[in-house]
Structure 1
Amino acid sequence: MNNRREFLKNTGALVLGGLVLPHISRAESLFGPTAMRPVGIQLFTLFRQMNEDPKATLKQISDAGYKEIESAFNLRGGYYGYTAKEFKALTSDLGLKWRAHHASGAPFRPRPTPPASTTGTAGAAPAPQRPPGVPANMPPMLNLRDNYQQLVDEAVEGGLSYLVCSSTPVGTVEDINKSIAVFQKTGEAAKKAGIGFAYHNHATEFDPVEGGKTPYELILSQTDKDLVKMELDLAWATKAGKDPVELFKGQPGRFPLWHVKDIKSDLKTVTEVGNGVVDFKKIFAAANIAGLQYIFVEQDMAPGVESIQTSYKNLSKMLS
């Protein structure tokens, strides 16, 4: 399954913008006061295209009707080869508003590399192998554990509202505790700088660890709700058997960002919004409970622009 967590592990690293929701009365609106907010897209959706030609891809995104974006990990370094100020200018010129950026919480443990052969210099460690598709000259990736202040400062330079942890090791209680410390530290720096900080989930955060608690429960209960918000990925929560509305009710106002992602009935295949099993209407009806501010369509590494156009069309019909 092509999701961000698996991609970042394999590299050793680690919607609908512009759609103005239908002009219906507040009483009829699924979103209440947020009904007129434009919705955005997570750029990981067009990962390959953004790495090949970011400017042309952003133009296609804008032409498709999207008006807000959330940036992500890329192979060019920085913000698709630009500084934060340069990327802000580029997106603004195309009629896009850059709202949030994803950064890894901490590097994932690299997978062991077996020796290339049994013959070779005795005692010599095998040379590290670069995963397929990762260029040899790829700039180093920043992460919140080691670079949180730089990432916060760059988010401010880019005029962002949120810095978001895209993924972090949560396989053990020790991993979770370390991540929680990073989140608290980053949240404090973000608040001081006048922006927000949030954590983005995958399905694995809902798997119990030692003691029976899940990483998601521990993160919610052991971080300051005013410093650490949540960006709920609707598809991964659905895959894990969780009801997003119940999550909202448990922590009202703590879910200002959503990934509007859909997944097929096999609960493995990410698909266009409206072509899967996520109950978007029920979820959107609870937007006020969640404290919704920004919505980003995401389809991990979608094959092309046609997919984001389909998501736009389907969600438009769904909400009209």
Structure 2
Amino acid sequence: MQQENPSRRRFLKQAGLGLSAALVSPYFFSCETKKVGTTPFHNLGIQLYSIRDLIAQDPVKTLETVAKIGYKHVETFGLDPVNGTFWGLPISDLKKVLEDNGLKSHSGHYDMSNYLKRGATSTESIEKYIEIAHKLGQENIVAPVTPMDNLNSLSVADYQYAADQLNKAGELSKTAGIKVGYHNHFWEFRNFANGTKGLDILIAFTEPTLVDFELDLFWIQKAGYNAQSYFEKYPGRFTMWHMKDMDNQYTTPVVGEKYDQADFSEIMKQIRYTEVGTGAVDFVNIANYADKSGLKYAFVEQDDIYLPNKFDSIKKSFDYIQKNIAK
């Protein structure tokens, strides 16, 4: 496995807050009456990367708390492919914890950075991902990120190769009833000479029957575009959303001449997240496009949480969506 650079570690690795204090909260000990509904917003999920430090410390209690807040399903991350575990839990144990708490897992993020990279000397085991996803009852194995060793050099050919690889993985997973997915960030919206963007290439060169897309509502806006335009342009292709909000003081787009060759660490200084409903993303309007996008599953995600209690943060996001969108 190749060495991660400091910028990637900063972006992908966990930061720490203690779990014990976070668990001492009212919603852990009580269960409110929740709305009954059938939309993806009523049946809301969470990408567990949002609380990565807590789940690494105590996955069982963390998942119990997620369920108590009201989340109905979780999107996994952080598979240890050598040992076949998530956060130290064997797959069978994780499945039982989810079942015990009334949680499902429809989707998981699986590292495909080498698999999607032209000329990579090592590859991830897509077959192993499919096997694990099948055991968890997941419908999608999602590539969470492009190869990150040199984002500023990604070319049209790189995106075309990645699309071809996604199709191949989709063919492999089809017999298990699983589709491959791709999750965007900001660099997929950088322009090539003809105005085409990386995300457009991925969508155009992948088969809809094999590959889904998971639109990150924060990152598309941070790139200077709006989700609604992509739902109109590519109806039915975005079956999953990451509902992530943007701090109102950090709304400047990070795509364009000033940023496209900038160091990743410098770009990240322009990034700050906040709880859903407290920032610059108009989720209420975007939610009107759920049918157009083909939405099946919506997940709260916040890459970095700044509140002292991270469970308070994900509850705040959950409550906003239930009150304002899951009507």
Query: Does the TM-score normalized on the shorter chain lie above 0.5?
Result: yes
2:107 pairs with 1:100: yes
Closer, same or farther: CA 7–260 of 1 in aligned 2, 3 Å: farther
**Which residue in 2 is equivalent to 1:280?**
283
Distance 1:287 1:194 in 2: 23
2:131 pairs with 1:153: yes
**Which residue in 1 is equivalent to 2:165?**
182
Distance 1:270 1:22 in 2: 27
Distance 1:21 1:245 in 2: 29
Q: How does 1:13-32 map to 2 (within 5 A)?
A: none
- Say which is worse superposed, 61-70 or 172-181, in terms of deviation: 172-181
Contact kept, 8 Å, 1:103 with 1:166, in 2: the verdict is yes
Amino acid in structure 2 at the alignment position of 1:224: E
**Which residue in 2 is equivalent to 1:302?**
305
Contact kept, 8 Å, 2:239 with 2:297, in 1: the verdict is yes
How many Å apart are 1:240 and its aligned residue?
1.0
**Which residue in 2 is equivalent to 1:206?**
189
For structure 2, the 5+ residue unaligned runs are 1-6, 14-30, 117-121, 252-270
**Which residue in 2 is equivalent to 1:41?**
46
Relative contact order, higher structure (CA 8 A, sep 6+): 1
How many Å apart are 1:60 and its aligned residue?
1.3
Distance 2:39 2:33 in 1: 10
What is the aligned-residue identity percentage?
31
SS of 2:85's equivalent? coil
The two structures have a TM-score, normalised by structure 2, of 0.74
Distance 1:157 1:108 in 2: 22
Q: How does 1:254-265 map to 2 (within 5 A)?
A: 254-265=237-248
How many Å apart are 1:101 and its aligned residue?
0.6
For structure 1, the 5+ residue unaligned runs are 12-17, 25-32, 110-143
Contact kept, 8 Å, 1:21 with 1:37, in 2: the verdict is no
Contact kept, 8 Å, 2:40 with 2:297, in 1: the verdict is no
How many Å apart are 1:222 and its aligned residue?
0.9
Contact kept, 8 Å, 2:185 with 2:219, in 1: the verdict is yes
How many Å apart are 1:103 and its aligned residue?
1.0
Q: How does 1:1-320 map to 2 (within 5 A)?
A: 6-7=8-9, 34=39, 37-73=42-78, 78-107=85-114, 145-169=123-147, 171-209=154-192, 212-265=195-248, 266-267=250-251, 268-303=271-306, 304-319=310-325, 320=327
- Say which is worse superposed, 38-47 or 207-216, in terms of deviation: 207-216
How many Å apart are 1:316 and its aligned residue?
2.2
The two structures have a TM-score, normalised by structure 1, of 0.76
- Say which is worse superposed, 276-285 or 261-270, in terms of deviation: 261-270
Give the length in aligned residue pairs. Answer: 268
How many Å apart are 1:161 and its aligned residue?
1.5
How many Å apart are 1:296 and its aligned residue?
0.5
Contact kept, 8 Å, 1:201 with 1:233, in 2: the verdict is yes
Distance 1:248 1:21 in 2: 30
How many Å apart are 1:35 and its aligned residue?
6.6
Distance 1:252 1:309 in 2: 31
Closer, same or farther: CA 188–87 of 1 in aligned 2, 3 Å: same
Closer, same or farther: CA 200–279 of 1 in aligned 2, 3 Å: same
Amino acid in structure 2 at the alignment position of 1:163: I
> RMSD in angstroms over aligned alpha carbons?
2.8
Contact kept, 8 Å, 1:270 with 1:299, in 2: the verdict is yes
